[in-house]
Structure 1
Amino acid sequence: MLARKRGFTLMEMVVVITILGVVSLAVFSFIGMGTRIYVDATERDQLLSEARFVVERLSRELRNAVPNSIRTRQANSNNSHCIEFVPIKWSGFYLDVPVAPELAASEVKVLSLSAESDDYSAASDDRLLVYPITSAKVYNSTASPRVQYPVLNISGPDTDNLMTINLVSQALFTTDSPSSRFYIGGQPVAYCFWRDGGESDTWLYRYQDYGYLSSPTNSNANITKIRNDTESLMAKSVHPYSLVAADDELPFKVLPATLTRNALVQIRLRFMLNEEILSYHYEVQVPNVP
């Protein structure tokens, strides 16, 4: 008698295939969900890291800015907005500066304070500033008298432990500092948003070495001058709330110092990557006083 052949019926095969399909779908859905969670967490961490880097770098530089040099550069017809300041390269106390109606002079005697300060060497377009009380005065390079003059070099210390700041030309300062304090500032620095290709292409750049510009607006001439010099990309996918000068939600706002607090800089940034959004509101206190 022949042995009976064993196998699967068509119905059994259909049932098994259906069960395997349901199980596979559940497994792949679980794996896909885990992958999406990982990708979302990675994107969020990337946004947080980028936001922290930009805000920390900017806040450190603002705290080391020459008093009252922080200002915003408002956009005209351009899709741009900047915050600008003059970094401090050296500071200390002077013995005397020429103030109207005194005679102009090209040398200023200052106290030698520390080895770190004495290591300063003048660079192109460094400025000696005395009692800068407004940003307009800080960036004004044509008035006479004024609060800032280009530095030629530094010499000393002499036998009295005094250093000499030699200026490029004869200087006549607007007024004395109440505490006889001076600052040497480097070339201005600007953090700027550019919206070249629409809101989705807004990037944040850092610029320097473009020199002192009296006008605080981003005119076409100023934009060309700023963007033609040293440029560093600070962050991509940054969407400021607004770039319109009249808007209350500008990314950078400067609040001058009062009798009860130091100057404040308000920073509003919104980082976007795919569907991930991170809003950053930050305040920087600027402790330096003239």
Structure 2
Amino acid sequence: MPRQSGYTLIELIMVIVLLSIVATVSVRFVGLSTQGALDTSARQLRALQSVVISEQLTRDLREAFPLSVRSTGSCIEWLPMEAGTSYLNLPATEVSQIEIAEFAQPPVVSNRRVVIYGYGTTTGDIYTGANPGPVSSLISGVNNTAVPGSPATISLSASHRFTSTSPARRLFLVGEPVSICQSGRFLYRYSGYAPTSTQPDPPPVTPEVLAASVTGTVDFRFLPATLQRAAVVQFTFDLLSADGSETTTVSQEVQIRNVP
């Protein structure tokens, strides 16, 4: 009788066990690789978010009038500089019109004020527009065309006396305040509200969402200018991953150019 060839039951069981082990390892390897790719993608997304948020904050803060910056820790406020030029003369009495050198581009007039010097005054004085003081009443108009014998001018809605003159005869137009504040996991940007002597936290207007995955406490710090360096704003905050397992720390320093 011829001998028959084939697999024994034990051999078949051993093959099944080995294939199961290989399959389990392969699935585990693929799963870990996929999870690693997803984690890397999430980290890159948070890194991109941090760059976008930092860049927007940096651009906003670099436009700030340096003497107007004030912070409560989780909320920072400033007056944005809209335009700058030189004035021709500044009487020590109240004025309703200021003779200036022409602006490079005609500025927006609505809700703008004139700031001249302002050093040696408190931050609140920059916001209140007290008369006398470094900040004028609202601008009522700008004649940006100079002709022989008739310079360009800025007209004020009410007469104002400036408390000091600028060593370089510099004049700046500032707009309405801007604030960045934290509320829970959100970072908001506020604008379009009236200036007040004390910093609002938060301002009484509807904000824009700047970031929606903030964890912990946002820390804003303002370092006033010295003779050796410009004013500096430091801010630090953490962005939380979607599953709450990881955070990305954002830390930045912004220099604000001093303007006498």
Letter in 1 for 2:125: K
Secondary structure of 1:91's aligned partner: strand
C-alpha distance in structure 1 between counterparts of 2:47 and 2:166, whole Å? 42
TM-score by length of structure 2 reads 0.89
Give, in angstroms, the shift of residue 157 of structure 1: 1.2
- Aligned residues: CA RMSD: 2.2
Cross-structure match for 1:193? 182
After TM superposition, give the deviation of residue 270 of structure 1 in Å: 1.7
2:212 maps to amino acid = K
Partner residue, 1:151? 139
- Cα offset for 1:6? 7.3
- List alignment gaps of at least 5 residues for structure 2: none
Corresponding position: 1:120 with 2:95: no
SS in 1 for 2:41: helix
For the Cα contact (< 8 Å) 2:190–2:205, is it kept in 1? no
Separation in structure 2 between the aligned mates of residue 288 and residue 57 of structure 1, nearest angstrom = 21
Cα distance in structure 2, aligned partners of 1:163 and 1:90: 14
**Displacement of 1:227:** 4.7
- Corresponding residue number in structure 1 for 2:63: 64
For the residue of structure 2 that corresponds to 1:106, the secondary structure is strand
Equivalent residue number for residue 107 of structure 1 = 97
1:228-267 counterparts in 2 under 5 A? 228-229=205-206, 231-240=207-216, 242=217, 251-267=219-235
Q: Is the 8 A contact 2:180 2:188 kept in 1?
A: yes
Q: Which amino acid in the other structure matches residue 190 of structure 1?
A: S
Q: Secondary structure at the match of 1:138?
A: helix
1:43 aligns with 2:54: no
Q: Identity over the aligned pairs, expressed in percent?
A: 30
Contact between 1:94 and 1:180, CA under 8 Å: does it hold in 2? Answer: yes
Please report how far the alpha carbon of residue 260 of structure 1 lies from its aligned counterpart in structure 2 after TM superposition: 1.4
Partner of 1:97: 90
The correspondence of residues 279-290 of structure 1 with structure 2, limited to 5 A, is 279-290=249-260
Equivalent residues in 2 for 1:162-177, closer than 5 Å: 162-177=151-166
Q: Is the 8 A contact 2:225 2:258 kept in 1?
A: no
| Alpha-carbon separation, structure 2, partners of 1:151 and 1:109 | 13
How many Å apart are 1:73 and its aligned residue?
Answer: 3.5
Q: Distance in 2 between matches of 1:282 and 1:159?
A: 46
Per-residue CA deviations over 1:59-96 (Å, capped at 9, x if unaligned) read 1221121131111145xxxxxx2111111111011112
Structure 1, gaps ≥5 residues long: 75-80, 196-201, 244-250
The alpha carbon displacement at 1:9 in A equals 4.7
SS in structure 1 of the partner of residue 186 of structure 2: strand
- Cα separation, 2, equivalents of 1:67 and 1:110: 22
Deviation track 1:83-127 (CA, whole Å, cap 9, x = no partner) reads: 11111111011112343xx2x22111110152xx3x22312x211
SS in structure 2 at match of 1:35: helix
CA contact (8 A) 1:253 1:265 kept: yes
Distance across 2 between alignment mates of 1:239 and 1:48: 15
Q: What is the aligned residue count?
A: 254
Query: Please, what TM-score do these two structures have when normalized by structure 1?
Result: 0.80
Deviations 1:217-266 (A, max 9, x none): 52xxxx3xx2523x2211122234x46xxxxxxx1100111111111111
Correspondence for 2:198: 215
